[in-house]
Amino acid sequence: MLRWARAWRVPRGRLGASFLRCLAVPVVHSSGRSSGQGNADPRPLPLSYNLLDGDATLPAIVLLHGLFGSKTNFSSIAKVMVRRTGRRVLTVDARNHGDSPHSPDASYEAMSQDIQDLLSKLSLVPCVLIGHSMGGKTAMHLALQRPDVVERLVAVDISPIGTTPGSYIGSYIAAMKAIDIPENVPHSQARKLVDEQLSSTVKDPAIRQFLLTNLVRVDRRFSWRVNLEALAQHLDKILTFPQQCESYLGPTLFLIGGNSTYVKPSHHSEIRRLFPQAQIQTVPNAGHWVPNDKPQDFMDAISSFLA
């Protein structure tokens, strides 16, 4: 069973500190440049994607994965979405992930600009934008900067507040960078070796298996297809969220795992400041990976939100 909270409104006369800070900060609309990135490349990257066909008269559904993920995370869900909604469904590899190009810029400004450029090229504007974790922050950033691009927004187990588990994610990256695999070993043996080497740092076998989806063979050697250097360098930025002064007034759903600690009650004031039409829905017995833990509840929630 799913639990719902009411749509929120910001009470008059109760403007928070974030809003007051914004009064002194000029609003910079999306130009593709990332703030605080001295080596940032303003040009969007040509992302790898998969587009499933559907009714072109309806806004397409766009699925954005989280950190260390790829478009293949949503392969099964995307097919179900086409059947359930009749809509086109787009899955995308973020920069530095999957089959998309690498870049030293791992900012949300750059990632949202990539998505905006792809949506324009595919004539999928406006769309229903659904993002999990890091992808949810990218989706929120794009909706706040370019609300005309996003018809509806879904943020899955993430909020516009800094994410707390930064230390262990940093240790995961360090452990992945330290793996040592001999040349010319079979893929199955390589996966077993890497699993063993990661196990001392990454205790959860399910998380290790998730990380191992990034192990690929390049010539005779195995390597990671995620850009670990860029992710390590910009992890602090990935785990936070760019300060925002504008709000997104479109329909918004925050879909939260009941067993997850990523979205806390203390985040609600910032959610309702930035997304005044937001509803929050809790999926009981789901962790951070809501679509994987409870795929039926996830699909039911999305279908209801689109109805």
141 is annotated as an active-site residue: no
Catalytic residue, chosen from 65, 97, 234, 288, is 288
To the query of whether residue 133 is one of the catalytic residues in this protein, the response is yes
Marked catalytic residue, from 48, 133, 159, 260? 133
- Between CA 121 and CA 124 the distance in angstroms is 8
Dist CA 124 CA 301 (whole Å): 22
Three-class SS state of 245: coil
Domain architecture of the chain: domains with CATH: 49-163+241-306 (3.40.50.1820), 168-232 (no CATH)
Task: Detail the DSSP E strand segments found in the chain.
Answer: 3-5, 49-52, 61-64, 89-92, 127-132, 150-156, 215-218, 221-224, 252-257, 278-283
Tell me if residue 288 is catalytic. Answer: yes
Q: pLDDT tens string for the chain (307 positions)?
A: 454 443 433 333 334 444 334 533 333 333 333 333 334 456 899 999 999 999 999 999 999 999 999 999 999 999 999 999 999 999 999 999 999 999 999 999 999 999 999 999 999 999 999 999 999 999 999 999 999 999 999 999 999 998 765 568 999 999 999 999 988 899 899 999 999 999 999 999 999 999 999 999 988 889 999 999 999 999 999 999 999 889 999 999 999 999 999 999 999 999 999 999 999 999 999 999 999 999 999 999 999 999 9
Catalytic-role residue among 102, 229, 247, 268? 229
